[in-house]
């Protein structure tokens, strides 16, 4: 999705927003920082894509080069241009997470009522959870260590719930 298209979604989420890139670039970069922190990734900032100052991986560069051969290329990058596409986050997350998260932050900082930005916050958080769920590489080391109630019959080497020590389960005693 081009940055200009994302700005349209941000302005729509803000309601009466008429913001340009300079108005929201700090918020956009904060959102990328948030994703990078949560997923332990190194996504480029929107300001870097806007300035065309990032280095693409070999696979991304091959995609860009192949696209340049088309009659109407989609991945054209220019310096300081909102027509530069952000290709590292899928469009559905740009529309539903990034746009709403930026709208929430912008409206919050403009001292709007919580009723105005609260729904944007909830929408953004719901989509952030989906993004993390899809792209995280979290793995539980001991999936059999989580027990609901006293149901430990399926666990190997466990006689009953009293003999089994689960560090994740707080006992009543």
For the segment 87-112, what is each residue's pLDDT rounded down to a tens digit? 888 999 999 999 999 999 998 888 77
Distance CA 20, CA 145 (A): 50
Backbone angles phi, psi at 153, to 5 degrees: -60, -35
With a CB cutoff of 8 Å and minimum separation 6, the contacts of 74 are: 67, 85
- Name the least confident of 36-50, 118-132, 148-162: 148-162
Position 63 scores a pLDDT of 81
pLDDT of residue 67: 78
Between CA 61 and CA 59 the distance in angstroms is 5
Threshold 0.75, pTM exceeds:
no
Four-CA torsion 81, 24, 132, 2, nearest 10 degrees: -20
What's the CA gap between 143 and 90, in Å, rounded? 30
* More confidently predicted of 8 and 114: 8
DSSP 8-class letter at 143: G
């Amino acid at each position: 999705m081009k940055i200009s298209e994302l700005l349209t979604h941000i302005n729509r989420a803000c309601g009466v927003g008429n913001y340009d890139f300079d108005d929201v670039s700090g918020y956009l970069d904060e959102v990328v920082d948030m994703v990078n922190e949560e997923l332990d990734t190194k996504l480029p900032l929107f300001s870097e894509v806007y300035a065309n100052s990032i280095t693409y991986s070999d696979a991304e560069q091959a995609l860009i080069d192949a696209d340049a051969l088309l009659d109407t290329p989609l991945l054209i990058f220019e310096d300081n241009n909102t027509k530069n596409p952000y290709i590292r986050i899928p469009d559905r997350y740009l529309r539903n997470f990034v746009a709403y998260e930026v709208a929430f932050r912008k409206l919050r900082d403009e001292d709007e009522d919580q009723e105005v930005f609260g729904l944007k916050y909830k929408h953004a958080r719901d989509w952030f959870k989906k993004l993390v769920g899809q792209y995280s590489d979290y793995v539980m080391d001991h999936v059999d260590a989580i027990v609901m109630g006293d149901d430990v019959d399926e666990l190997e080497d466990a006689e009953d719930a009293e003999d089994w020590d689960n560090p994740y389960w707080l006992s009543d005693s």
